[in-house]
Amino acid sequence: MEAAREFLLKRLRQIGLHEVRLLDGGGEPAVYGEWMGAPGKPTLLVYGHYDVQPADPLERWHTPPFEPVEIGDRLYGRGTSDVKASTTIALEAVAAYLAVEAACPVNIKVFLEGEEETGSPSLRAIVARHGTLLQADAVLSADGGRASATLPTINVGARGNAQLEVRLQSAHKDLHSGRYGGGVRNALHEMARLVASLHDQDGNVAVKGFNAGAEPLSASQRADTASFAYDEQAFFSSVGAASHGEAGYTARERITLRPALDVNGLWGGYTGPGGKTIVPCEAFAKMTARVVAGQDPGDVIRAVLGHLRSRCPADCTLDVVALHEGSPASTLDPSHPLVQSAGSVLQRECGRAPIHVRLGASVPVTALFKETLGIDTLMFGFNLPDEDVHAPNEFFRLSSIDAGLRGWVLLLATLAEQPRERFHAGGRAAAKASQV
Ligand SMILES: [Zn+2]
């Protein structure tokens, strides 16, 4: 981590950025540098991260994980795809402008996080301490790669999330099933009944208010989703599962554009080897909700809690062990200057209009920038889904470096033509709404 920071501090100074320094928030500091020589032009916060996942299991690597090794079109090494190559591409595009034209078409603030892989524990503190320094019109993220090597895509949003863990108690202590069995409630039976009531047998969420606020799918969202060709059969059969869920939506719509509720863990009683003749007195369940645009993650998870409480028998107690509101869904409108600029760059580079795709997963850093700085994020990374991130033999395609550098150089030039106020249309209001 220290070597990576030193390398970045040196390189940012070398390419001509100013105010190069570490931003501390109590954990691994972020690396910062800026070039503010384009008065009146938009200011873009370039986001990347310099931390990586552990390299183990080391015996599965064919090359040393912390030595870059080129084999054919691939550069192997831990962090190559996630996300050092895409971060380097962004920095070197800025470096090229400063070296060749002695100026960049937009103002740049580079912000490289050191805790992305550990859930960004001090990112909020860093942004709170250095909020003034980080003021910008939008974020360009080197993280969040391409969905396909052949089909240009723009990521226009991600689902948000919220978590709940509950404990159900039916007696003061575990009871002998010979002395009490058949005469008292069993905490596991009651918890199983509660959990089973969350969905109907077709997979529709049966919690009143769970879908509240969810914006109906627009015709263009449905068309975008349908135009991203993928093999649904292979998608499910590759993990040994079958398509199942809310009626009236395609599988891809269900996993990116509709809310979802999943029990992640369910336990209690005796689960060790052999048997134990008890009536267990307590049971636990962990669950997460994925929320979509228009929804408040706190309201959604409290609707789930209300559902469980209203069905919990009066002679049992249901306690909240943990409730995390998580982050709301993020959405970039198709008319947003980030989407339009990236669209024209990809159209020019790929010879066809990019498809707008959404992530089913959540990107907390995007939500945090929206909430704290009031600005939107465009993901413009160049890694591809098959590059074994977080796994042994991680690699990045060398051919993506060319595509990435061309893309970033064009993107910065295109964004320079956008009036600054266009980046904030609706942005502040949306940021405010997400805090309510
Ligand atoms: Zn990662």
CATH topology of domain 160-214+259-327: Alpha-Beta Plaits (3.30.70)
**Per DSSP, which regions of 3-71 are E strands?**
18-23, 30-35, 43-49, 69-71
Region(s) of the chain under CATH 3.40.630.10: 2-158+329-435
pLDDT at residue number 199: 98
pLDDT digits (tens, 9 = 90+) for 358-404: 988 888 889 899 999 999 999 999 999 899 999 999 999 999 999 99
Tell me how far the alpha carbon of residue 49 lies from the centroid of ligand 1, in angstroms. 9
DSSP string, 233-260: HHHHHTTT------TTS-HHHHHHTS-E
Amino acid found at 179: R
Tell me how far the alpha carbon of residue 178 lies from the centroid of ligand 1, in angstroms. 51
With a cut of 70, list the residues of the chain below it in pLDDT: 426-436
Tell me how far the alpha carbon of residue 117 lies from the centroid of ligand 1, in angstroms. 5
Closest CA relative to residue 28, chosen from 11, 44, 52, 46: 52
Phi/psi at 325 (5° precision): -75, -15
pLDDT at residue number 426: 60
Tell me how far the alpha carbon of residue 371 lies from the centroid of ligand 1, in angstroms. 22
Q: 225's torsion region: left (phi>0), alpha (psi -120 to 50) or beta?
A: alpha
Tell me how far the alpha carbon of residue 83 lies from the centroid of ligand 1, in angstroms. 7
Q: What is the DSSP letter of 80?
A: I
Tell me how far the alpha carbon of residue 330 lies from the centroid of ligand 1, in angstroms. 19
- Residue bearing tokens 């032009």: 41
CATH topology of domain 2-158+329-435: Aminopeptidase (3.40.630)
What is the number of other CB atoms lying within 10 angstroms of the CB of residue 209? Answer: 13
Tell me how far the alpha carbon of residue 47 lies from the centroid of ligand 1, in angstroms. 14
Does the CA dihedral 21-116-109-384 come out positive or negative?
Answer: positive
Listed in sequence order, the DSSP H helices in 238-361 are: 251-256, 297-311, 337-350
pLDDT at residue number 429: 42
Tell me how far the alpha carbon of residue 222 lies from the centroid of ligand 1, in angstroms. 29
Tell me how far the alpha carbon of residue 235 lies from the centroid of ligand 1, in angstroms. 22
The count of C-alpha atoms lying within 13 angstroms of the C-alpha of 330, restricted to the half-sphere facing its C-beta, is: 27
Q: Is the peptide bond before 279 cis (omega within 30 degrees of 0)?
A: no
Region(s) of the chain under CATH 3.30.70.360: 160-214+259-327
Q: What is the DSSP letter of 335?
A: T
pLDDT at residue number 402: 95
Chain centroid to CA 202: 28
Distance CA 427, CA 371 (A): 10
Closest CA relative to residue 282, chosen from 306, 322, 317: 317
Going from the C-alpha of 330 to that of each of 206, 376, 430, the distances in angstroms are 25, 9, 10
Chain centroid to CA 190: 34
Tell me how far the alpha carbon of residue 390 lies from the centroid of ligand 1, in angstroms. 6
pLDDT digits (tens, 9 = 90+) for 198-218: 999 999 999 999 999 999 999
- Residue bearing tokens 């869904």: 329
Distance CA 390, CA 77 (A): 11
Tell me how far the alpha carbon of residue 385 lies from the centroid of ligand 1, in angstroms. 12
